[in-house]
Structure 1
Amino acid sequence: MKMAEILDAKAVRYAAGASSKKRLLQNLSEQAETVYDIKADEVFSALQARENLGTTGVGRGVAIPHARFETLDRIVGLFYRLEKPVNYDSLDRQPVDLIFTLLAPANDSPEHLKALAMVSRTLRSEDNCSKLRANSDPQTLYSILTELTTSKAA
């Protein structure tokens, strides 16, 4: 699996920040509707329900919110780099500025887990995160993400 298979260039954004985790999830949901034609209220509800099970803020400024949908036929992603980190109730209690959201079909467990592992591997690297944090142009961020995972995918 390659990042370019799940991430549309229009789903990569650089944003000033969000006033809260809830607002960030709403922004992501609206972007999902714009890019992937998934109803924003359904995305928000699913992401919020997943967060209620436990935070998807994995530490070091990274969050990987994810949810499943009956209406999807493939895995899709969204990436945000925030100028100003937002409190996300992360495991290490640090605010997040790199957010990769995965939306998957309800019945696609193996592929969903592979995508989650790919994103986690990519964002676990300090070098990769530094490259992403050093850029604010969405096209550049997209290029970095797709090149990183293409050259380092397992």
Structure 2
Amino acid sequence: MQLSEILRPDAVKVVGNVSSKKRLFQDLGEIVASTYGLDATTAFNALQDRESLGPTGVGHGIALPHARIKGLDKVIGAFVRIEKPLDFDAVDRQPVDLVFALFAPDGAGVDHLKALALVSRTMRDADVCAKLRANEDPVALHSILTEWEATRAA
């Protein structure tokens, strides 16, 4: 599994300001609706339900919200870079500016975990995060995220 299989270029966005975690989840729902045809409300509700189990802010300004959705046939992703970091109840209490959301089929146990591990490894790379924070072009952001694997394998 590779990030290029999970994340389409048009599912990468830069937003100036997000007023709340709820608004961010609405934005993510709208992104996956327009990019993958997933129902925006279903995506929003799934993220809200998962977040109620515990915050998905993993620290260092990064959040990895994820959810399982019935009827989805493969793991899909959306990435948002927020220009004004958002309070996200992250484990280190730092605001979040890099958000990679994953949506997986309801019964995709291993694939969901593999995708989450791949995204987590990518987002733990300090160089990747620095490049993501230094760019405002969604095409460049997508390239940074998807080319990470190629540079790691070389």
TM class, shorter-length: over 0.9
Offset of residue 70 of structure 1 = 1.2
The gaps in structure 1 that reach 5 residues or longer are none
The one-letter code of the counterpart of 2:151 is S
Count residues with an aligned counterpart: 153
Quote the residue 1:23 is aligned against.
Answer: 23
Instruction: Give the corresponding residue for 2:9.
Output: 9
Distance in 1 (CA, whole Å) between partners of 2:119 and 2:27 is 20
The CA distance in 2 between the partners of 1:151 and 1:127, in whole Å, is: 12
The Cα offsets for residues 22-57 of structure 1, whole Å up to 9 and x where unpaired, read as 111111111111111111111111100000000000
2:149 and 2:81 map into 1 onto residues whose CA distance is 17
Contact 1:16–1:83 (Cα < 8 Å) also in 2: yes
Cα distance in 2 for partners of 1:80, 1:56 equals: 15
SS in 1 for 2:104: strand
Residue in structure 1 matched with residue 42 of structure 2 by the alignment? 42
Identity of aligned residues (%): 54
Matches of 1:150 and 1:136, distance apart in 2: 22
Q: Which runs of 5+ in 2 are unaligned?
A: none
Q: 2:98 is paired with a residue of what secondary structure? A: strand
Contact conserved, 1:3 with 1:150, CA < 8 A, in 2?
A: no
Q: TM-score, normalised by structure 1?
A: 0.97
4+ runs deviating over 4 angstroms: none
2:81 matches 1:81? yes
Instruction: Indicate the SS of the match to 1:74.
Output: coil
Q: Deviations over 1:100-132 (max 9, x none)?
A: 000001111111101000000011111110011
Q: Distance in 2 between matches of 1:152 and 1:8?
A: 20
User: TM-score, normalising length from structure 2?
Assistant: 0.97
Q: Tell me the amino acid that sits aligned with residue 106 of structure 2.
A: A
**Distance in 1, Cα, partners of 2:151 & 2:15:** 27
